[in-house]
Amino acid sequence: MKPEIIQELIKIVGEENLYTTLEDLYCYTYDASFLKADLKDLAGVAVYPGTVEEISMILTLANREKIPVVPRGAGTNVSGGSVSIGDCIVLVLKRMNKILEIDKKNLIAVVEPGVITGQFQREVEQLGLFYPPDPASLAVSTMGGNVAECAGGPRGVKYGVTRDYILGLEVVLPTGEIMTTGGRTIKNVTGYDMTKLFTGSEGTLCVITKIIVKLIPLPEAKSTMMAVFSEMEQASETVSEIIAGGLVPCSLELLDNIYIKNIEEYAKVGLPVEAGAVLLIEVDGDSEILSKQIGKVEEICRRLGAVQIRVATTKEEAEDLWLARRSAFASVSRVKPTIIGEDATVPRSQIPVAVRRIQEIAAKYNIIIAILGHAGDGNLHATILTDEMDREEAARVEKAIDEIFVLTVELGGSLSGEHGIGRAKSKFITLQTGKIGLEIQRKIKHALDPNNILNPGVMFGA
C-alpha cells in the first residue's frame, strides 16, 4: 500500500486503529473456511473504523484510488468471503459494537454491526424477547457478518433465517455515500426492498453500519428429545412425516453413523455406535401444548422404526442431549486434519435421496463424507474429512464436491443454505443461477460498485 494512502487512512481512523505489520495482516489471510490466502494476497492495511463517517471517508478514498476493500466481522465466514486479496484494505467492523436500542413496544432493536450475535440474543431474552437466528458461530460472530451472509442455524425450520428479521439498514455504498433502507415497521413497500438485497450480499454491495432488527416474543418453554434409528432412510422419512403432520419443531437435527461413532468415542454421551442415524428434536411454545407436541413427534418416530427414544424431562437432560450435537465438529476433527463443511440444501423430501447419493459419491472417490444437517429445512452439512496436504486425495475431494453441487441443483436445492458463496464456491454459482441470473446480478453489482472495489471476486469470481 502506498505510504500516502496509509497516511490518509491514519488521518481518518487514527494510528491506533490501523495495522500494517506482517504479523497483524497475516490474521486476515484466513477465515473459518478452508480457503487461505497466499502471502502475495496479504492485505496492504487493516483498519478498525469507529463511525459511519469514517467508513464513508475510507470508501471514498478506496473508490478514488481503486483499492479493493474487504469488510470483516469476527472472521467466522465459512465460504472465504472475508480473506484478504492482495494489496487491499481490510475493514474490520468490531469496534462498532453497541446495542443502540431495544424497543419492547415495537418489538425491534437497533444494533451496530460489531455486536456479537449471542450477546445480543441474551440481552433481548432478558426482556422476554427473542431473536431466533442461531448460526453455530453465534458466540463469536457479529450481527453485521450475520446480515452480510444471511446466516441461518438449527432454528431455521420454524423461525426462518437472518433475512426474516432485518427491517432496515444503514450502509455505506462503495462510492462512500451513506444510505438507509427499510425502516422500523414490518409493513413497508416504499421502493425496492433494498434491505433484503443487501442482506446476504456478502460484502459486495455495501458496508453495513447499522441494523434494525425485528424481534418476537420469547417462547414460554421448550422441550427436547432424541430418537435413534437403525437406518438413515427411516430418520429422513421421519423428518418429512413430522413436518407433513403439521408439527414444526424449532430444531430438527440429523446425525449420520460416522458422526454418531465419533461423537460417542469423543464425548461418551451414550449413543448406540451401530445406529444409522440420530434425530435431535426440539419443540417450543406455550408450556401447555409442549407435551402434546412431543407426544405426537414421539408417536411418529416410533411408527417409523425408532429403536431408542429419549425425552428430556429436565433442563440438564436437555443439555445432555444437545451435547451430542455440539460435540459433532470437535469429534470429527480428530479423524483428519482438514474438515470441509459444505452446506448444500435440498427440499426436505429429497433428504433420503441426497444422503444416499452423497454416500455413493464418497464411495466412488474413496473419501470420508459425514452427514449432519438441519434436516427440518433440508440444510445438509456434508462434512468431508480429509488432509489438504495429501495432493492426490485433495484432487479426489474436489471432484466429489463438484458432483455434490451438481446433485444438489438436480434435486431442486441450493448450493448454499447459509454459508454463502464467497470465494470458495463462486465457480459453481451459475449451476444454480443460470447464465442470465448471474449476468443480472453482475449488472446490479456494477451499477452500485462501478470500480469493483468492494470484496471483488466474492460471488462472481475473478
Name the segment binding its own copies (CB under 8 A); options: 35-43, 68-76, 94-102, 181-189: 181-189
Tell me if 6 contacts its own copies by CB under 8 A: no
Q: Which of residues 124-153 bind its own copies (CB under 8 A)?
A: 128, 149-150, 152
Q: Which of residues 342-381 bind its own copies (CB under 8 A)?
A: 345-349, 374, 377-379
Nearer to its own copies, 137 or 201 (CB): 201
Tell me if 7 contacts its own copies by CB under 8 A: no
* Residues contacting residue 36 through CB under 8 Å, at least 6 positions apart: 29, 30, 83
Q: How many CB atoms lie within 10 A of CB 18?
A: 18
Contact 83, 41 (CB under 8 A): yes
Alpha-carbon span 31 to 73, nearest angstrom = 10
Tell me if 284 contacts its own copies by CB under 8 A: no
In the set 1, 5, 99, 248, which binds its own copies (CB under 8 A)?
Answer: 248
Q: Which of residues 424-443 bind its own copies (CB under 8 A)?
A: 429, 432-434, 436-438, 440-441, 443
CB of 338 to its own copies, least distance (A): 23
Helix (H) or strand (E) segment spanning residue 418: none
Nearer to its own copies, 27 or 107 (CB): 107
C-alpha grid cell, residue 174: 462503495
Tell me if 292 contacts its own copies by CB under 8 A: yes
Q: Which of residues 211-230 bind its own copies (CB under 8 A)?
A: 216-218
In the set 163, 296, 336, 357, which binds its own copies (CB under 8 A)?
Answer: 163
Tell me if 210 contacts its own copies by CB under 8 A: no
Q: Which of residues 12-51 bind its own copies (CB under 8 A)?
A: none
In the set 283, 384, 421, 424, which binds its own copies (CB under 8 A)?
Answer: 421
Tell me if 201 contacts its own copies by CB under 8 A: yes
E-state strands within 296-416: 308-311, 338-341, 368-374, 379-386
Tell me if 449 contacts its own copies by CB under 8 A: no
Contact 348, 239 (CB under 8 A): yes
CB of 380 to its own copies, least distance (A): 10
Tell me if 414 contacts its own copies by CB under 8 A: yes
CA angle 430, 436, 442 (to 5 degrees): 80
Nearer to its own copies, 177 or 274 (CB): 177
CB of 461 to its own copies, least distance (A): 12
Tell me if 264 contacts its own copies by CB under 8 A: no
Tell me if 161 contacts its own copies by CB under 8 A: yes
- Local structure of 226: helix, strand or coil: strand
Alpha-carbon span 259 to 254, nearest angstrom = 10
Q: Which of residues 377-396 bind its own copies (CB under 8 A)?
A: 377-379
Task: Find residue 228's DSSP bridge partners.
Answer: 278, 308
Tell me if 185 contacts its own copies by CB under 8 A: yes
- Distance spanning both ends of the chain, measured CA to CA: 21
Instruction: Tell me how far CA of residue 67 lies from CA of 12, 59, 452, in angstroms.
Output: 16, 9, 9
Nearer to its own copies, 126 or 185 (CB): 185
Torsion from C-alpha of 129, 133, 134, 139, nearest 10 degrees: -70
With b meaning 16 or more CB within 10 Å and e meaning fewer, what string describes 322-336?
A: bebbebbbebbeebb
Give the interface size with its own copies as a residue count (CB under 8 A). 88
